[in-house]
Amino acid sequence: MFDQPATIVELQNLFVAYQDKLALEDVTLSIKAGEFWGILGPNGSGKTTMLRAMVGLLPLLSGSVKVFGRPVDRLGDVRQRIGYVPQHSRIDMYFPIQVREAVMLGRCGKIGLARRPDRSDHEAVARALQLVDLEDLANRQIGQLSGGQRQRVLIARALALMPDLLLLDEPTAALDVGASESFYAWLHQMHTKLSSTLVIVSHDVGVVSRYVTAVACLNRRLVAHGLPHEVLNRDTLEGMYGCDAMFFRHGDVPHLVVSREQTDVTRNRKLTDE
Amino acid sequence: MEILGYTFMQRALWSATLIGALCALIGVYVVLRSMSFIGAGIAHASFGGVALGFILGVNPFFTTVIFCTLTAWAIAFVSDKQKIREDAAVGIFFASTMAFGVLLIGLMRGYNVDLYSYIFGNILAVSRFDLYSSLILGVVVVGLIALFYKEFLLLTFDPEMARVVGLPVRTLNLLMLTLVALTVVLSIKSVGVVLVSALIVTPAASAFLLTDDFKKMMWFSVGIGVGASWLGLFLSTWLNVASGAAIVMTVTLIFFLCFLFSPQRRRMKQRMSRLKQLIKS
Ligand SMILES: Nc1ncnc2c1ncn2[C@@H]1O[C@H](COP(=O)(O)OP(=O)(O)OP(=O)(O)O)[C@@H](O)[C@H]1O
Ligand SMILES: [Mg+2]
C-alpha cells in the first residue's frame, strides 16, 4: 500500500465512559502498518471498548482516535479498508438470510449506495467463504449453523472486504482447536504475505504470543505494551490481572500460572473469576 | 360474478391488490425490525391528520401524509437520543396524536364528518383519486425498496454493522419510517386506522413461518397480503359485512393455517418464540 501512512491507528489520551463509569482511561497507543497486535486483559478491562472506539461505534469522552490518519468520526471511504469482527454480534439467529448473503453484506459500503454487487463482489465473497472453510454451508440459513460456524460467518464478512486493517474481537472464542489453529495460521499468512495490519483481542496468551509482533495489556488503563517477550512477564501480568500470576514456558507453549492455587491454566479467563 | 361489472367493485379490487401488496412488503421490515408497535402508532396518528384535513377544509389525504410522516420522524428523533426507549416514544405519540384528532373534531361542533369510515375503512368507497395516489406512492415505495435493497437488508439484519461499513444509518432509518407512514396513509381509506397494522404485520409474520430466505419471505408476504385482501373483499360483499374487518379476519386465518401446516413444523416452536419476541407489542 504505497499510500498507507506509517501509523494506521493512533489513540491519543483516549477516555471512554459508559454513563458515569470509565471503561478506558488515558490510553495512548500507536499501531503501525504491517504490525500484528495482540490485546490482552481480564474481563471488563475495556478491550472490546477499545476496538469499538476504533470503528467509531462509541462516543469519545476525550482524547482522539485516528485510523488511516482520519479522525474516527469522519472516516469516510477508509471505512472500506477496515474489517471488524465483533465479539458478540446481536444478529438474530432466525433472520431469513443465508451465509453467502450475510457475508456479502460486509461489502455493503464498498459496493456503494443503491448499487448491486458485481462479479468482483461475488468473487471476494467466494474467497472469504473459502478462507474460513464455509463454502459447503454457503446456502444455509444462519440459524442452522453451530456457534463456531456462525463466528466464522462474521470473520468471513470482515474478510470479504479484503481489509488493510483487520480488527478481531476474540474471533476464536467459539472455534474448535483445529479451526482455531488454521485460523491463526491463516492470520499469520495474511500478516506476512499481504502485510495487513492486524489487531486481535484474545484470552489465549499462549497462542497470541506465538504470532503477534506487539502486545498491549489493558486494564482500563494501558498497563503495558511492546514486544511480546518484553511485556509478557510476571510484573505486567500481576499488574493486569491483579493476582499473583506468572507466565512461563515449557516446550514452546507458554502457560499462565497462578501460584496461589498452583494450577496451570492456559485460558486465563479462570484467573479473573476470583 | 356480475358484481365485478360495477366500477366501485373494480376500484375496490385494484385497491385491495395495491394495498395488500404494499402493506405486506413493508411489513417484512416492520416484523423483522420489531417495529410493529411503530406501525400501529403511525396508524393511530393518522386520525389526527384526518381531523386536521377536515378542519382546514383540504383533502385529508394530504394532511394525513404530512402528519403521519412528521409523527414517524418525531418518534425516531425522540428515541434516537437514547434517553427514552422507542416503545415509550411510540406510546406517547400514539395517544397524543389521537387526542389531538379528537380535540379538533370537538372544535368542529355540528360538523357531520364520516369518521366511522376512517376508523374502520370502506374499500367500496375508494375514489379514482385514492386509487391513483395509491398507485403513484406505491410505485415510489416499491422503487425505493428495490433501490436500497441491500442497505435496508443490512440495516434490518445488523444495524451495528451497517454503521461500521459506513451506511447513512440515520437517513435510511428515517426513509424506512417514511415508507411505513406512506403505506399506512394509503391503506386507511380501505381498511381504516384501527385495522391497518394487522394488514402490515400479519402477512409478513405468516411468511416468516414459511421460509428461511429474505426474498422469498417478501414474495410470500405479498402473495398472502394480496390473496387475503381479495378473499376478504369477496367475503365482505357476499356476507354484506365491513370490508376491512373481513380482510383482517381472512389474513389472520391464513396466519393460523401457516402456523398449523408450515412445512417446517419441526423448527416451528423456535420460530414462534422468536416471532413472539419480534411482535411483542
Ligand atoms: N454498553 C455498556 N453499558 C455500560 N457499561 C458497559 C457497556 N459495555 C461495556 N461496559 C463496561 O465497560 C467495561 C469494559 O467493557 P468491555 O466490553 O470493553 O470489556 P472487555 O475487555 O471486552 O471484556 P471481555 O473480556 O469480557 O470481553 C466493563 O466494566 C463493562 O461492564
Ligand atoms: Mg470484550
Task: Kindly report, residue by residue over A236-246, the tens digit of the pLDDT.
Answer: 666 666 644 44
List the CATH number of the domain containing B92: 1.10.3470.10
Q: State the Cα angle at B68 between B156 and B150, rounded to 5°.
A: 20
**Which residue in the block uniquely carries the three cell numbers 514486544?**
A227
pLDDT at A254 over 60: no
Task: List residues near ligand 1 (CB under 6 A).
Answer: A 18, 23, 41, 43-49, 87
All residues of chain A having their beta carbon less than 8 Å from the beta carbon of residue B167 are: 108-109, 113
Which one of B150, B168, B211 has the shortest CB-CB distance to A96? B211
Phi–psi pair at A71, nearest 5 degrees:
-60, 145
Residues A113-148 have pLDDT tens digits of 888 899 999 999 999 999 888 999 999 999 888 888
Atom from ligand 1 closest to the CA of residue A45 = 21
Question: Residue A247: what pLDDT?
Answer: 47
pLDDT at A261 over 50: no
Which is more confident, B51 or A258? B51
B143 exposure class (CB count in 10 Å sphere: 0-12, 13-18, 19+): exposed
Question: Residue A1: what pLDDT?
Answer: 47
Question: Residue B230: what pLDDT?
Answer: 94
All residues of chain A having their beta carbon less than 8 Å from the beta carbon of residue B147 are: 114
CB atoms within 10 A of CB B178: 19
The residue segments making up the domain with residue B172 are 2-280
pLDDT at A183 over 80: yes
> To the nearest whole percent, how much of chain A has pLDDT over 70?
83
Question: Residue B200: what pLDDT?
Answer: 95
Residues A15-65 have pLDDT tens digits of 999 988 999 999 999 999 999 999 999 899 999 999 999 999 999 999 999
Residues by chain with Cβ below 5 Å of ion ligand 2:
A 47-48, 87
A74, A82, A97: best to mutate for the B interface, most B CBs within 10 A: A97
Question: Residue B112: what pLDDT?
Answer: 61
Q: Which of A16, A21, A85, A272 to mutate to test the pocket of ligand 1 (most atoms within 8 A of CB)?
A: A21
Q: State the Cα angle at A31 between A27 and A37, rounded to 5°.
A: 95
Q: How far apart are the first and last CA of chain A?
A: 46
Question: Residue B82: what pLDDT?
Answer: 67
Cite the DSSP H helix spans in chain A. Answer: 47-54, 99-104, 108-111, 119-131, 147-159, 177-193, 205-211, 228-231, 234-241, 269-272
Instruction: DSSP letter for B155, please.
Output: H
Question: Residue A240: what pLDDT?
Answer: 67
Phi–psi pair at A247, nearest 5 degrees:
-125, 125
Question: Residue B81: what pLDDT?
Answer: 67
A90 vs B214: CB contact, 8 Å cut-off?
no
Question: Residue A238: what pLDDT?
Answer: 65
Instruction: DSSP letter for B85, please.
Output: -
Number of domains in chain B: 1
CA distances from B261 to A209, A243, B219, B256 (A): 55, 59, 19, 8
The interface pTM score, or ipTM, of the predicted complex is 0.83
Tell me the C-alpha distance between B181 and B26, whole Å. 10
Nearest residue (CA) to ligand 1, atom 25: A43
Residues A72-95 have pLDDT tens digits of 999 989 999 999 999 887 788 889
pTM, rounded to two decimals: 0.87
pLDDT along chain B (281 residues), means of 10: 77 92 96 88 88 87 92 87 78 88 80 71 85 90 95 95 93 94 88 88 94 94 96 92 90 92 63 72 53
Tell me the C-alpha distance between B155 and A93, whole Å. 15
pLDDT at A204 over 50: yes
